[in-house]
Amino acid sequence: MVTKIYVNADLKATIPCPNCKNSYQKDVSRFIKHHKEVRLKYTCKCKHQFSILLERRRFIRKEKQLNGYLIEPTRKLPLRIIDISKYGIKIKLFTKAPPDIGSILTIEFILDDPGHSKVTTKVTVKRVLFPDTLGCEFLNPNHYDNLGKYFLFHF
């Protein structure tokens, strides 16, 4: 089993040993610039070996299954939100041709908060992960709408 370890602002990670329950803080700054996920094997002082996955995101990303639409000038195309964080969103499109990297999209979706709030926002396509899956960044990370309330109270 792989343990997910969060990197703090000082570029250090606190690694707890599942065997002896001791924790060790290690400098992981050399792994921060890697583009792929960073999986490491760690050997504790008690000689127990285990795998860790460094989570380098600034904000937690949560998996979701929210339905929504890609808004185009003449039509609305269905999409599904796969995960979301304060700065970005991963969406699955149900269309054949994905937008290009750098494209600005308007998306609309309903949150899973108690009021089922509607959000309409603009995102920039940062990655095309699969032909139908996009990694996007919010154009405005200051969410003064329903999404901001969602991150504060329901995330």
d(CA 21, CA 145): 42
| pLDDT category of residue 66 using cuts at 50, 70 and 90 | very high
Distance of CA 138 to the CA centre of its chain: 12
What pLDDT is attached to residue 56?
72
Q: Looking at residues 115-119, what average pLDDT do you find? A: 92
Distance, C-alpha 133 to centroid of its chain = 13
Supply the DSSP string of 46-57, one letter for each residue: TS-EEEEEEE--
Asked whether the predicted pLDDT for residue 152 surpasses 70, the reply is: yes
Burial class (CB in 10 A: 0-12, 13-18, 19+), 65: exposed
Torsion 81-82-85-90 (CA) sign:
negative
Nearest-CA neighbor of 2 among 58, 37, 41?
41
pLDDT in tens, 40-55: 999 999 999 999 998 7
Q: What is the mean pLDDT of the chain?
A: 88
List, for residues 24-33, the tens digit of each pLDDT value.
999 988 887 7
Residue range 127-137, pLDDT digits in tens: 998 889 999 99
